[in-house]
Amino acid sequence: MHIALIRHGQTDWNLALRMQGRTDIPLNDTGREQARVAASVLANEPWDVVVSSPLGRARETAEIIAATLGVPLGASYDELVEQDFGVAEGTHVAELETRWPDRDFAGKEPDDAVGPRGIRGLERIALDHPRARVLAVAHGTLIRYTLAAITGHETWHYPKLDNASSSLVRFTDASWRVLTVGGADIAEVLPPLDERPEALPLAG
């Protein structure tokens, strides 16, 4: 079982560096082109189905990739939705440190709930598509927390994921394993993880 977790294409809020979270901002034209380019890269390997988060930017990215690859478009999964950043959504990233130095945004989904939720999403996808190769379009923070929950590393030590980048996980020996992060082999990513400083999120 292989699942490629793909961050959705760019939105205007991504471009403006605004916290996005669950605010349903659509793709912009750059984001749509990123989805097409991602599909051309993904075409080098066989895929069985494309699924996504229910948010519009993820769903449209999934639709573009599925149509480009000629692969069925499957269901959306609530477990793949982005972390809720509450009152911070719409705020410019540069303002976060001043307004919420502890990142304690009112209405925020607890950080420690995000990774386990992402893993539940992987498990649901695996149940729906056993032994398949699945493309799952989701969100940057959700993907990073999910990968960190699998490897046991600090989430903020993971590199920021580019729009339309993919991270590959595999289910084997009764557990999930991370194979790539944003297109880079996990063997290249792991050594510096614990040396990374604390960083502000660029969410969505």
Of residues 2, 8, 129, 153, which has the active-site annotation? 8
Assigned domain for 144 exists: yes
Is 82 noted as a catalytic residue in this protein? yes
Assigned domain for 132 exists: yes
pTM metric for this prediction: 0.92
Is 139 noted as a catalytic residue in this protein? no
Q: Which domain holds residue 6?
A: 2-193
Burial of 94 (0-12, 13-18, 19+ CB in 10 A): exposed
Assigned domain for 203 exists: no
User: Average per-residue pLDDT in the chain?
Assistant: 93
The CATH number given to whatever domain includes residue 95 is 3.40.50.1240
pLDDT in tens, 114-140: 999 999 999 999 999 999 999 999 999
Assigned domain for 202 exists: no
Assigned domain for 19 exists: yes
- Give the helix, strand, coil percentages of the chain, each rounded to 5: 40, 20, 40
Number of domains in the chain: 1
Of residues 82, 109, 129, 153, which has the active-site annotation? 82
pLDDT in tens, 135-185: 999 999 999 999 999 999 888 888 899 999 999 999 988 899 999 999 999
Assigned domain for 198 exists: no
Assigned domain for 30 exists: yes
